[in-house]
Each structure stands twice: as structure tokens, then as C-alpha cells.
Amino acid sequence: MKIYFAGSIRGGRDEEENYLKLINHLTKYGEVLTEHVGLKNIEENEQKNSDTNIFQRDILWLKSSDVMVADVTVPSLGVGYEIGFAETLNIPILCLYNPKNKKSLSAMISGNKNLVWKEYNNLEEAELLINDFLSII
């Protein structure tokens, strides 16, 4: 299974540590095409790539993905775009949201019946939600 993990990069790295742990958990199910999202210095590493190259690379990864898992706790234009694009490809999408930051989840996520979105309060809950979601894919 090819898994596309989406998490905020330029929108803020508040959940960086969780991203890495979620990505590590996802590797039990298949190849995570976007492991770099969990790296500590991703912004510095991504400066080596032009915005055009990042866009083209990520679109190719999305097109080859079997499933998408997105952490939408930190609002991100890029993650929102990726979710919308994955939806047009009919890729099953799980959006994970931790309400701890008191930021409201976008209605574009919570109101979209084509997405599965789940709230979690800790890493263990998020991993169980991933397990449940991937067991039906």
C-alpha cells in the first residue's frame, strides 16, 4: 500500500513530533511516500527544491497513492489543497484533528461527506483511528 501523509510545513510545525510518530506507525501498513513531512529540518531541506518541483513531486506521489492520512490540527493551505486533489482522484482520505490547540476544524473538512475525519486527544488514539481506517481499505 502506498500512503500519502499530509501535515503542515509552511503553515506551522507545531505537530512536527506527532507527524514523525504517525508516519512511523503508518509504515506498518505500507510505504509512506511523504516521510519527509516528519523531519525536524524539513523547511531547510525543502529550500533545495523549487516550489514548482515540490508541487510536481507531490502531485505525482498523490496520483500513485492508495490512501491519504492527513493531520489537519495545524491549518495549512497546502494540506487543504492536497486533500482536495486526493478527493478528485477518489483516494480514501482520513483527516486527523487534535482540538488541543483550540483552533476550529475547517468546515471544508468537517462538512465534506467524502472525507473521514476523526478527533484524537493523544498519539495512541490517533494510531487506533488509523488502524480502524486502514482495516476497511
pLDDT digits (tens, 9 = 90+) for 75-134: 999 999 999 999 999 999 999 999 987 789 999 999 999 999 999 999 999 999 999 999
C-beta of residue 97 within 8 angstroms of C-beta of residue 70: no
Structural domains in the chain plus CATH codes: 2-135 (3.40.50.450)
Q: What is the pTM of this model?
A: 0.94
Count Cβ neighbours within 10 Å for each residue of 51-75 and write b for 16 or more, e otherwise. Answer: eeeeeeebeebbeebebbbbbbbbb
pLDDT digits (tens, 9 = 90+) for 3-47: 999 999 888 888 889 999 999 999 999 999 999 998 787 776 677
C-beta of residue 134 within 8 angstroms of C-beta of residue 29: yes
